[in-house]
Amino acid sequence: MVMQKATVDREAGYRLMGELAGPETVEGTLGRLEALAPGFPDWIVTSLFGGTYQREGLALRDRQIATLAALTALGGVEPQLDDHVRNSLRIGVEAREIVEVMVHLAPYVGLPKALAGLRVAAAVLGEREEQA
């Protein structure tokens, strides 16, 4: 069997993380995590945003919608879901689409998890409205 070599691009990962989350997140959140767990933030950005997110086959928008669904289905990961709601909005996913993702998930992941996802989305959207 011939295996395809995985592509991992650290620089592309940091560029994409900056595009999705903004430079303040790259500096702030990753900086705090680096202080706690040295090297771990680099591994996250390099393997996830420089690896998985760089694969062909899904557009960035589709990857973000899949991420919203996965984090909502997991439950208990509200800080990461909050980040990805913000990331999705930053790249042009509309607020109504994010809400609809959560509603669509209810019969699949359960009402409590869908409601928790909606709570996170509502908080982010409310914050954006206050800033506007």
**5-39: per-residue pLDDT in tens?**
888 999 999 999 999 988 887 788 899 999 999 99
In a domain, 4, yes or no: no
pLDDT mean over 116-132: 93
Across the chain, mean pLDDT equals 94
Instruction: Give me the DSSP letters along 83-132.
Output: HHHHHHHHTT--HHHHHHHHHHHHHHH-HHHHHHHHHHHHHHHHHHHHH-
Same domain, 38 and 76: no
Residue 82 has pLDDT above 80, yes or no: yes
Same domain, 86 and 123: yes
- Name the domain count of the chain: 2
Same domain, 16 and 73: no
Structural domain containing residue 69 = 59-132
Same domain, 19 and 83: no
What is the number of other CB atoms lying within 10 angstroms of the CB of residue 26?
Answer: 17
Same domain, 44 and 92: no
107 versus 29: the higher-pLDDT residue is 107
Distance CA 61, CA 47 (A): 19
Which of 6-20, 64-78, 92-106 bottoms out in mean pLDDT, i.e. has the lowest? 6-20
Q: Which residue has the tokens 């390099």?
A: 46
Same domain, 107 and 131: yes
For residue 52, the Cα-to-chain-centroid distance in whole angstroms is: 12
For residue 97, the Cα-to-chain-centroid distance in whole angstroms is: 15
In a domain, 2, yes or no: no
Same domain, 28 and 66: no
Same domain, 45 and 105: no
Quick check: 6 and 51 in contact, CB under 8 A? yes
4 versus 53: the higher-pLDDT residue is 53
Residue 70 has pLDDT above 90, yes or no: yes
Which of 8-12, 74-78, 94-98, 125-129 bottoms out in mean pLDDT, i.e. has the lowest? 125-129
